[in-house]
Amino acid sequence: MSSFKAVLIDKNSERYGAAYVDLDDASLMPGDVDLDVLYSAINYKDGLAVTGKGPVVRRFPMIPGVDLVGRVTRSTHKGFASGDIVVATGCGVGEAHYGGFAQKARLSGDWLVKLPDSLTPARAMTVGTAGLTAMFCMLALERHGARPQDGLAVVSGASGGVGSFAVALLAKAGWRVAAITGHAAEAEYLRSIGASEIFAREDFSQAGKALQSQRFAAGIDTVGGVTLANLLSQTQFDGAIAACGNVGGMDLPASVAPFILRGVSLIGVESVRPRIALRREAWARIATDLDAAMIDAMCEIIPFDQALERARTIVAGKIRGRVVIEMP
Ligand code: NDP
């Protein structure tokens, strides 16, 4: 039996803590695919998990890490064989099932997608849940029938992880993209990844009229709250907004007017459930649509022994772009 290094979160009545430990293979949770983890990444959820600042972990002890890329070492799942490079995001990994902050993982093959050849493991982890969620939003807009020739697409929380990928993906698909940001200093960065117009966050953060000037044909909203209500009020006839986030609030103080008087659609997007066909489609599109240089520009690679400390800092808003963890 071999041992491996992992970050383990545990709690008892007095203490909630995370630490590096040595585990053996027998401690892995059930699954039909064993992996050597090549890379993981630090998501906001991982920060909440290691600090205990949010109820992310649903079973103790737990290895955090909602995203991982690994090489298959054993598989009884018909879809995978030894040597395959696979990616896992969401599906309860790092929350209810041991996740990516470890040298080894044992997962259900139903949660895995083979990495497209053109995407390196490190780039796949840079994309991770953030990029996948942005792609789910774009696919939802496409299914709605939204097309670049219909007008302007808007992205809120544009300089964040999901927002940055949303801007880049929409621009690559041919949309003119308006990026809403609270950081004027990020304007140059946002233009470099494809934004054609920059709007100030404050222009969308006060409650407005139920129907406002029609500015947007489509949108990806990571903010929620009043911002989402304003985006709906400014969406043109038959337009659609894909909503995936709540950094600005869980509420939605909106009117039905955009829906019933302009036929506007609000499409909810979540990235955690294992809808494998949609995941395969999304990863294939990411591999073809995202520019490698742009992905690299968003990525900082750190060694595994810094993962725990850096995961603690993400909840304090001290991480920009994507921090990818390289396993020893
Ligand atoms: P980040 O922290 O990387 O980015 C969020 C961005 O939102 C910030 O960079 C900032 O961008 C903007 N922002 C921050 N605070 C506020 C505020 N109070 N009001 C308005 N804008 C604000 O987060 P992610 O991109 O990783 O995630 C974004 C959201 O999407 C989160 O709510 C997250 O939980 C959610 N999410 C949902 C998923 C799903 O399955 N539905 C999956 C992944 C994420 P700027 O400075 O440019 O304004």
CA 223 to ligand 1 centroid distance, Å: 6
Q: Is the CB of 269 under 6 A from ligand 1?
A: yes
User: Considering the domain boundaries, does residue 122 fall inside one?
Assistant: no
User: Considering the domain boundaries, does residue 289 fall inside one?
Assistant: no
CA 101 to ligand 1 centroid distance, Å: 23
The secondary structure element, H or E, covering residue 200 is strand 197-200
CB atoms within 10 A of CB 287: 17
Q: Of 246, 268, 290, which residue constitutes the final position of a domain?
A: 268
Q: Say yes or no: 178 and 97 in one domain.
A: no
Q: Say yes or no: 263 and 303 in one domain.
A: no
CB atoms within 10 A of CB 252: 14
Q: Say yes or no: 146 and 252 in one domain.
A: yes
Would you state the pLDDT for residue 71? 98
CB 33 within 8 A of CB 107: yes
CATH value at residue 206: 3.40.50.720
Q: Say yes or no: 214 and 311 in one domain.
A: no
Q: Say yes or no: 136 and 253 in one domain.
A: yes
Q: Of 230, 249, 268, which residue constitutes the final position of a domain?
A: 268
User: Considering the domain boundaries, does residue 153 fall inside one?
Assistant: yes
Q: Say yes or no: 317 and 218 in one domain.
A: no
**Pairing mode, strands 197-200 and 152-155:** unpaired
Predicted TM-score (pTM) of the model is 0.94
CATH value at residue 64: 3.90.180.10
Q: Is the CB of 273 under 6 A from ligand 1?
A: no
Residues 6 or more apart whose Cβ sits within 8 Å of residue 198: 178, 179, 181, 184, 187, 190, 191
**What is the full per-residue pLDDT of the chain (328 aa) written as tens digits?**
689 999 999 998 889 999 999 999 999 999 999 999 999 999 989 999 999 998 999 999 999 999 999 999 999 999 999 999 999 999 999 999 999 999 999 999 999 999 999 999 999 999 999 999 999 999 999 999 999 999 999 999 999 889 999 999 999 999 999 999 999 999 999 999 999 999 999 999 999 999 999 999 999 999 999 999 999 999 999 999 999 999 898 999 999 999 999 999 999 999 998 899 999 999 999 999 998 998 998 899 999 999 999 999 888 766 667 899 999 9
Q: Say yes or no: 73 and 149 in one domain.
A: no
Domain range for residue 306?
Answer: 3-115+298-326
DSSP β-bridge partners for residue 219: 154, 241
Q: Is the CB of 235 under 6 A from ligand 1?
A: no
Please choose, from the candidates 233, 239, 241, the residue with its C-alpha nearest in 3D space to the C-alpha of residue 213. Answer: 233
Q: Say yes or no: 145 and 225 in one domain.
A: yes
User: Considering the domain boundaries, does residue 210 fall inside one?
Assistant: yes
Q: Which tokens belong to 155? A: 């992205």
CA 32 to ligand 1 centroid distance, Å: 34
CA-to-CA dists, residue 143 to 136, 236, 258, 265, angstroms: 10, 17, 20, 12
Q: Say yes or no: 135 and 239 in one domain.
A: yes
User: Considering the domain boundaries, does residue 287 fall inside one?
Assistant: no
Q: Say yes or no: 111 and 138 in one domain.
A: no
Q: Is 263 left (phi over 0), alpha (psi -120 to 50) or beta?
A: left
Would you state the pLDDT for residue 314? 85
Side-by-side strand order, sheet with 265-268: 197-200, 176-181, 152-155, 216-221, 235-243, 265-268
User: Considering the domain boundaries, does residue 21 fall inside one?
Assistant: yes
Q: Is the CB of 129 under 6 A from ligand 1?
A: yes
Q: Is the CB of 163 under 6 A from ligand 1?
A: yes
CA 72 to ligand 1 centroid distance, Å: 33
CA 157 to ligand 1 centroid distance, Å: 5
Q: Is the CB of 42 under 6 A from ligand 1?
A: no
Helix, strand and coil percent figures for the chain, each rounded to 5: 35, 30, 35
Q: Say yes or no: 102 and 56 in one domain.
A: yes
Q: Of 223, 247, 268, which residue constitutes the final position of a domain?
A: 268
Q: Say yes or no: 26 and 109 in one domain.
A: yes
User: Considering the domain boundaries, does residue 290 fall inside one?
Assistant: no
User: Considering the domain boundaries, does residue 185 fall inside one?
Assistant: yes
Nearest CA to ligand 1 atom 15: 247
Would you state the pLDDT for residue 264? 98
Check whether the bond before 121 is cis (ω within 30° of 0). Answer: no
CA 189 to ligand 1 centroid distance, Å: 17
CB 170 within 8 A of CB 220: yes
User: Got the DSSP string for 165-189?
Assistant: HHHHHHHHTT-EEEEEES-GGGHHH
Q: How many domains does the chain have?
A: 2
Would you state the pLDDT for residue 320? 67
